[in-house]
């Protein structure tokens, strides 16, 4: 696959932690096939890992009967990743800043921070009947690694 091609991949998993890696590997391979280097692909894969882990743990509350859907849309150098769960949603405004000194030693609360660090944009939408969709975008020509992923 050459950069400039378009590609759409979709996978649905049950809410088990061991399935996280399946989705992460798809993200990494898609990025590598699109010409992203190993480090850049790794960090995008990590963002996907965090999104799927949140969907399983906080969204679907580890209910294996509930599904997590991941869609990867690659258009040219623009990658859009959507992770959807069947949970009740949450208030993104109430997510604390892990860099705040009073939160630094907390053992949780860094997942969304990871996603925002590794991707260009992260947005949420909540369906009235339940279910959360997280959309992350990344321009694959923007370089790789943490330092170059954040403007």
Partner 1 sequence: MKATTRSVDGVEIISLEGKITIGSGDTQLREIISNAINSGKNKILLELSKVTTIDSSGIGELVGSYTTVTNRGGKLKLLHLPAKLNELLHVTQLITVFEVYDNEQEAVSSF
Q: Which residues here bind partner 1, judged by CB under 8 A?
A: 17-18, 20, 39, 42, 46, 49-50, 53, 57, 98-99, 104-108, 110-111, 113-114, 117, 145-147
User: Can you state the angle between helices 38-54 and 111-118, rounded to 10 degrees?
Assistant: 150
Q: How far is the CB of 124 from partner 1 (least distance, A)?
A: 17
Going through the chain in order, the beta strands assigned E by DSSP cover 6-14, 67-75, 78-84, 121-126, 132-139
Distance CA 90, CA 55 (A): 11
Give whichever of 63 and 73 is closer to partner 1, judged by the CB atom.
63
Q: How far is the CB of 105 from partner 1 (least distance, A)?
A: 6
Q: How far is the CB of 147 from partner 1 (least distance, A)?
A: 8
3 state SS of 104: coil
Three-state secondary structure readout of 33-52: HCCCCHHHHHHHHHHHHHHH
Give whichever of 105 and 151 is closer to partner 1, judged by the CB atom.
105
Q: How far is the CB of 4 from partner 1 (least distance, A)?
A: 29
């Amino acid at each position: 696959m050459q950069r400039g091609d378009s590609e759409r991949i979709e996978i649905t998993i049950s809410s088990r932690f061991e399935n996280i890696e399946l989705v992460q590997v798809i993200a990494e391979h898609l990025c590598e096939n699109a010409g992203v280097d190993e480090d850049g692909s790794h960090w995008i894969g990590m963002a996907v890992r965090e999104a799927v882990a949140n969907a399983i743990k906080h969204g679907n509350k580890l209910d294996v009967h509930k599904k997590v859907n991941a869609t990867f849309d690659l258009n040219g150098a623009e990658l859009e990743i959507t992770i959807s769960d069947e949970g009740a949603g949450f208030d993104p405004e109430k997510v604390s800043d892990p860099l705040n000194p009073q939160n630094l030693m907390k053992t949780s609360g860094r997942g969304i921070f990871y996603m925002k660090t590794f991707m260009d944009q992260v947005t949420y939408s909540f369906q009235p009947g339940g279910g959360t969709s997280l959309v992350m975008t990344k321009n694959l020509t923007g370089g790789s690694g943490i330092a170059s992923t954040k403007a």
